[in-house]
Amino acid sequence: MLAPVVAAVDGSAESLAAAEWAAHEAVRRERPLQLLHAWNWHPRQGDGEIANAAQRQLARRVLRQAELRVLAECPDVRLHDAQAESPATVALLKAAEQADVLVLGSRGLSGITGFLVGSVAFGVVARATRPVVLVRAVPRPRSRHGDVVLGIDLGEPCEEVVEFGFAAARRSRARLRAVHAWQAPGPLALGPGDIGLVDAQCRAQEWLGVLSAVLRLWHDKYPDVELLETVVEGRPSQVLTRAADGAGLLVVGRRISDGPLVRRTGPVTHAVIHHADCPVAVVPISEPVQRWPDGRPATAAPSGRTRASPRSTRRNPCGDRPLRPRHGRPGQVHPPAPPAGLDLDEEDPKELPGPA
């Protein structure tokens, strides 16, 4: 059985907008749509069965309302629904594991509505191992054929995010607009051979060349996708929020780790979730765990030692090649090094000093 597109519903306008968007996405993906309502039963003495029945009846009404809205908007979708009697975060994470994509409703600056309150929604986004799309209920009609905006980090252009963006653009027959935000290094951030007085136009042209090289193979794989490559000087969160205006979808990445459970969305992803008007797809990116020679995680003490002290080496989450220090910039003369862009998970990455 094909993994479904799952939309969480709670009766709010935001969740209904999410269900509507999910229905069209399910048709584009040729997958079934599952509407999910989660409720957490807190039994009280003497009325357990009555309260349970009342909750189920309420869930049935919420699901029926969503079904009517979805079928009126997208009659061709294959639809079924489900109830989950458990905390919302647990139910949604479990559903996400079996889903092709999970779709949630969002109020943007007002937080997440209904049972997706604050930490619940961000807990799902930060811990899900499958893509999660957040959809807002906007007062004006949303263009379903707007650009798919791909936020790309040229320092670590991970395949999961790039492929999601190209595939989404092809399914919706939309243009893919790849956007990279860059910032000129300050005098203290320059490494050996960096040219600090190159004008912004020259730097932008170099970044554009790097972006074209990174996306060339992907464009060959998706030749029917119209691609617009854009580099903009500025903070990533602001650049992506502006680029998302009028777009059909914004695609960003979020790093996950197989090691200790450190869950976060990152400041840029957090910002665009709050401020972008269009649906935001958050794609998890697998990050390998550093290990000692005996196979134990680097967070544990190695054999014969009482305290972990692994050699500090940044690793590329998209491959096995160690990353270069972040002092590389376009315009470098010697030694040659590929430019390192701004991480989507790091709003203001600290520059490492070059060798003396």
pLDDT confidence of residue 7: 96
CB 76 within 8 A of CB 41: no
Other Cβ atoms less than 10 A from the Cβ of 161: the count is: 26
CA dihedral 102, 107, 109, 111 (to 10 degrees): -70
Kindly report whether the global pTM for this prediction surpasses the value 0.85.
Answer: no
Which residues, including other chains, have CB under 8 Å from residue 58's CB and lie 6 or more apart? 39
Phi-psi region of 174 (alpha: psi -120 to 50; beta: other; left: phi over 0): beta
Tokens representing residue 225 in the block: 């996708």
Which residues, including other chains, have CB under 8 Å from residue 254's CB and lie 6 or more apart? 125, 126, 264, 265, 266, 269, 282, 283, 284, 285, 344, 345
User: Which helix (H) or strand (E) segment is 38 a member of?
Assistant: strand 33-39
Select from 42, 278, 41 the least CA-distant residue to 144: 278
Angle, in degrees to the nearest 10, between helices 159-172 and 13-29: 90
Backbone angles phi, psi at 68, to 5 degrees: -60, -40
Q: Which residues pair with 26 in a beta bridge?
A: none
CB 152 within 8 A of CB 210: no
Q: What is the pLDDT along the chain (356 residues), one digit of tens a residue?
A: 789 999 999 888 889 999 999 999 999 999 999 999 988 755 554 456 777 788 888 889 999 999 999 999 999 999 999 999 888 889 999 999 999 999 998 875 444 444 443 567 778 898 899 999 999 887 655 556 799 999 998 888 789 999 999 999 999 999 999 999 988 776 555 555 555 546 778 888 888 999 999 999 999 999 999 999 999 999 999 999 999 999 999 999 998 765 545 566 788 888 898 888 899 999 998 765 555 666 665 544 445 544 444 444 444 444 444 444 444 444 443 334 444 444 444 444 444 444 44
User: Which helix (H) or strand (E) segment is 37 a member of?
Assistant: strand 33-39
Is the previous residue joined to 335 through a cis bond, with omega within 30 degrees of 0?
yes
Tokens representing residue 248 in the block: 């059909």
- Amino acid present at 225: V
Select from 253, 282, 266 the least CA-distant residue to 346: 266
Angle, CA 26 vertex, CA 134 and CA 160 arms, to 5° = 60
Rounded CA gap, 120 and 112, in Å? Answer: 8
Return the biggest CA–CA distance within the chain: 78
Sign of CA dihedral 236, 152, 321, 345: positive
Collapse the DSSP code of 87 into the 3-class scheme (helix H, G, I; strand E, B; otherwise coil) and give the result.
Answer: coil
